[in-house]
Structure 1
Amino acid sequence: MKDSVIHLGLAGLGTVGSGLIKIIQENNDWIVRRLGKTLAVKTIMVRDLAKPRNVIPSPGTTFTTSMDDLINDPEIDIIVELAGGIEFPRTLITRALNSGKSVVTANKALLAQHGPELFELAASKGLGLYYEASVAGGIPIIQTLKESLAGNRIKALTGILNGTANFIMSEMSEKGEDFATVLAKAQAKGYAEADPTLDIEGMDAAHKLVILIRLAYGLDFPLSKLTVEGISKVEQFDIILAKEFGYRLKLLAQVRDKSGMLHAGVYPALLRQDHILAKVDGPFNSILLEGNAVGPVMLYGQGAGDLPTGSAVLADILALARTNCVPNNTGFLESRLPQAQILAPELTVFRHYFRFTVVDRPGVMASIAGVMGEYNISIAQVVQRQYAPNDGVPIVFISHSAQMQNVTAALDTIKKFSFVLDPPVHYRII
């Protein structure tokens, strides 16, 4: 990369790839002022050469369907992987690093599952594997953790990391619509995929959380060890009741350090209405973290889209084009990060929201409260309503802090009572 032009090889020309090219074209003079060099997309790998393209980088750009045309071209300095999936990009990135080319990717699923091995390979080759766009779109959280907050020990990190889920929860809360109606609206607006499973079941946010844990703590927290719950079973009724208690329901990704052990997960949870993350609405993302030196820091912005995510990809390209030393891939010196000491999910402690739909008869509330007492769950508030689905009566309890294993045991006991009409509803309170 000693010449005045940095040549890029791009795999994938979808939403993000097109956004990247638009930014390079529109901001070329600005890029030259910052970098002292021009960026040129030399070759683009696509699945279908005959497909019409809305964005063409330059008359000299070559389109191909062959990975070899990216890997084997000695003029290409950086390969940008925006194709998605797992096996193809894993092969592409591995081959690119082995051929001496640094890589920029937005692939959170790949990095969550195979990041350790890919970072180890990049370190062995002295090459960059950068991934700012893999988490929260245009929000610069990766660089913030790697560089700006590198001198801090991160005590906790809580984020709204999926714009689709946040849009759905916001619309349900503000407009009183049910989950299915709002999901269809999200798909019509382009916020949700035709198959929204990864978004609404929490896995997209889980992939991102694994990446953030590595950067924040210098530890590998396996994806399989995360507690992951989605929002597909959220009912409008609980959103209304939560509001009455002063809460909003959000899909949150969270990690906390408890005396050197980490507990982490993705789940719908209640936040006080005056909590800063409770105010993040629509398809936006936000991350709230706390460093032992800097204190609380919040980042907020668009978590997806062509230009916001393309902006993050471009930032990585510029960082790699500037570097004169070993690239900072993980933010730590180790070629493979140590495994996290994980606090078992059943030992985690939260306050809790419970809703039980029951037959309206004397003694029911006392029976439920009695079981909670047996399992050391102290009740802070209780409300009984006159209407619920199935013509039952809903009883809502807000608890003081209680251990998850006690909550699980209490729920298993209570749901077996003959007067309980529906499965109990439970949410953590953050």
Structure 2
Amino acid sequence: MAILLLKLRDVSLIFTRLICLFVFTVTNVEGYASWCDFSKTVFVPEESTATFLTTFTFRTFRHTMFVKTDRTFQTIFWSFHLREGHIFTDNLDWCDPSWKNRTNIISQLNTKGQIDIRIEISNISMKDNGTYYFSLGKVTCFILFVMQIRLEPRKTEATEENMPVYVYAHPHASVITRPFANATMTWLVNGLSVNKTASFIQQDGLIWIPHITRGLDGSNVTYRSVQDNGNVNEVNYTMNVTYGPSQSLSLEPGQTQYYLVSGDIMPDITCTADCKPPCSISWGKYGSGGTLRLGEVTSKDTGECTCTATRTGVKTVKRTINIHVAGFNNSVRKSLNQTIEDCSNSQAADNHGLEHYEALDTNTIQKEKVYEVPTEVGLETYENIRLSSISTPEVQVAHS
């Protein structure tokens, strides 16, 4: 008996190997196999989980097999046993253990006496594209399209501003054969059709951006499949654009010429640059950082100060301000300030002098002034100087 069991096991192993090694050439175009009883199209984004759903009429004893039919016939699992209409993982023979680690099978009898089967394959990659078939009396084919967006050139994760960019997508509409793979493929940018975006040129499975700009940084590019049965699947890509520094750098305050006097306080000047990733900013000998702080200036501060913005290994931009400091002392400063004040008040002073003539009659002009003469020279004080309109004016002198 033991010998018989060993022989049966050996036969089973040999049969398993034959199934796993069975190879044939697929002659059909992608997405269609003529020998399938039913065909279902499945679109799924890369690195997600593909779900295959099918229903079979229940029979007590049926063998089952799940196969990927690329250019070679690759059996994923098979079994000759069903228990009460269910497929159990412990009854399956796996040709490739890697599939076992990412494949989940759920089956149950429905109210119509049929077996509903759900096969989930996780961590889908581009190599999983192709046609699969599941056999349980009849054959159901699943046409799996793994959806992907990628950028060219792919030197880095980000694209430099003003460079041409090619956005590729899979699957191309041209490889989807109707009516077996019944879906329409569309491109969207931030939810709008690419046809409404002037900066994009669209072809089958391709978008060309002749000169990508910083305005597209963070934009969402979508490649969407809309199946006739209403199922919608899509893949998304977020644009990552590097840029800056640009000409010219921004200064706050915005002036570039400063005329000061020694002892004045120079206002702080902030230099900024629009960069991604952020630029390093320096004011040369005055230190790193975006703000120039000179404080109180002297004639030694006369000259140029240059703000430099650098994005490492890419670009450097500079902007210069000129500072002119006059080396005046405090007495000259006060004299200048007094002169400015006198000039500003001169017009008001002239107007005030006219007030003395408003009440004069036509015959007499009279002013009363007191002239104070230093007593040390012995001069008298003159008061009430009266001026008349006659040719020989009378002068009255009052002695104190």
What TM-score, normalized by structure 2, do the two folds share? 0.19
More strand by share: 2
What TM-score, normalized by structure 1, do the two folds share? 0.18
Higher relative contact order (CA 8 A, sep 6+): 1
Structure showing greater radius of gyration is 2
